[in-house]
Amino acid sequence: MQKILIPTDFSSVADNATQYAIEMAAAFKSELFLYHVFLMKRGDYDLNFSGEEQPFIKKVNLKMEKTKEKFEEIINQKELTIKTKTYEGSIFSLFGSTVKKNGISLIVMGSKGASGLSKVIFGSVAATALDIAEVPLLVVPPKYPFQPLRHIVLAMDHKEFSPHLLLPLQELAVKFGAKVTILNVKTDSNQKIKREKIIGLDNVEITYREIPISKSINESINIFIEKENCDLLCMKRRDKGFFESMYKGSITKNQVYNTQVPLLVLPE
């Protein structure tokens, strides 16, 4: 995890994710990239100014400067480096071309969540990153403080994981000495995990748990996490098999909106 991208909208949720990313970067000595993208509307333009002299752009740049100042002391204490950038563009470019151009290995961001029509119509920036990013995405819930990882849950269905998919999870587990619980939410009495297929987690303490489904798969996962005092949930990006056959939408994306602990999403 050499390079970590932190998208920010200058909110308290984004600041909390930035703090979490800094602590994560300290463990791996990662380089930090704090970026903000914006789209200027017609009313944002002042015809009396051009280019970077636009008052709107100056205001955005000032917000970035102030945000960087908030974290400069801790970044220096931990001997880290951070690059900041604001630019006009789409959120799609941030999670697509910008990630590729800078060789980003992990995206860390906050999620405000959404429900009802707001989730259906407007969605979430984190959910957009989930759809686009080709690198692991770590979503940090609002006000969730960083704490060294001790217990990680890998929620999975009956489909196999490719070994390379689990490398980021292994890296985290080994670095923090965390144990990993492979969690399967059973939707029928005959469904079982094939334990021999979990490869790619070398030098990691692994346990297997199967739990019955409650009202939903997401609720079942959250109940388990709270009960077992877990501090990181890991899921793959696209749900297939029985997840999509029984429920509309993506279980992973639903978790982005409702996660109670940091959620690490691994792209297939």
Query: Is the confidence at residue 6, as pLDDT, over 70?
Result: yes
Higher-confidence residue of 74 and 194: namely 74
Q: Given this model, what pLDDT does residue 241 score?
A: 44
Angle at 239 between CA 233 and CA 244, to 5 degrees: 130
At 93-122, the pLDDT tens digits run 899 999 999 999 999 999 875 555 444 444
pLDDT band at 92 (very low <50, low <70, confident <90, very high): confident
Tell me if 3-140 shares its fold with 151-263: yes
At 238-258, the pLDDT tens digits run 644 434 433 445 788 788 877
Q: Given this model, what pLDDT does residue 164 score?
A: 81
Count of C-beta atoms within a 10 Å radius of residue 188: 9
Query: Is the confidence at residue 85, as pLDDT, over 70?
Result: yes
Q: Domain segments of the chain: what residues?
A: 3-140, 151-263
Sign of CA dihedral 241, 247, 253, 258: negative
Q: Does the domain made of 151-263 have the CATH classification 1.20.1560.10?
A: no
Q: Where in 29-103 does DSSP place strands (E)?
A: 31-38, 82-88
Query: Is the confidence at residue 2, as pLDDT, over 60?
Result: yes
**pLDDT mean across residues, the chain:** 84
Q: Lowest-confidence range among 30-44, 123-137, 154-168, 244-258?
A: 244-258
Mean pLDDT of 157-178: 84
pLDDT band at 150 (very low <50, low <70, confident <90, very high): very high
Phi, psi of 155 (to 5 degrees): -90, 130
Query: Is the confidence at residue 57, as pLDDT, over 50?
Result: yes
Mean pLDDT of 219-239: 88
Q: Are 193 and 208 in contact (CB under 8 A)?
A: yes
Q: Measured in whole angstroms, how far is the alpha carbon of residue 16 from the centre of its chain? A: 13
Nearest to 250 by CA among 147, 141, 164, 126: 126
Superfamily name and number for 3-140:
HUPs (3.40.50.620)
Count of helix runs (H) and strand runs (E) in the chain: 10, 10
* Predicted TM-score of the model (pTM): 0.87
